[in-house]
Amino acid sequence: MGFFSKLFSSKKDKPEVKERTALTIQVGDIVTYDLVDYEVVGKITYRDGGYEWLGYQLLEGNNTIWLSAEMDDELELGIYKKIQLPVSIPYPKEISYENRKYYLEESGKANVVGEGRSANINGTQTHYADYSDSEEEHFLSFETWGTETEASYGYPIEEFELKILAGTI
């Protein structure tokens, strides 16, 4: 086999990197949001009946945020940060946080698939509740894992605010 044959055959053997969208992000990808590059270190796929949504754990240094992605009638994206806000099941119909009132939008139980740093929750179930303020510009999210409840504050973003660089194939 000549030099050019090897050169061209090696290109054919390399898998093509697929373009990523907010619904196809993988652990190891890089997501740029608000001029900061984050590594995707965890991914959670939530399933409640026939409905599915995704949570991506994004890490930059010691800063961790979560990107939520779901396809409802249209793509809905949000950025979330963990907060300290005590709440327990049954979740209340409304709750206040930082002088803003939030109203229960939906709650239920979801089966989860965890990848990367979230692999430890793979195959488990969480009881969740999502809240929004009256303008639907601020969100609270709660997930109960066994006896521990995690709280997060979030806000909506648009797809054009993200740049996704595939880190894996």
**Average of per-residue pLDDT across 95-105:** 97
Confidence of residue 57 (pLDDT cuts 50, 70, 90): very high
Asked if residue 101 belongs to a domain, the reply is: yes
Q: Specify the number of domains making up the chain.
A: 1
Asked if residue 6 belongs to a domain, the reply is: no
Q: What amino acid occupies position 111?
A: N
pLDDT of residue 17: 62
pLDDT of residue 21: 95
Asked if residue 96 belongs to a domain, the reply is: yes
Asked if residue 3 belongs to a domain, the reply is: no
Asked if residue 10 belongs to a domain, the reply is: no
- Its pTM stands at 0.88
126 is in which domain, residue-wise? 18-165
**Average of per-residue pLDDT across 111-132:** 96
pLDDT of 127 above 70: yes
Asked if residue 31 belongs to a domain, the reply is: yes
Asked if residue 35 belongs to a domain, the reply is: yes
Asked if residue 4 belongs to a domain, the reply is: no
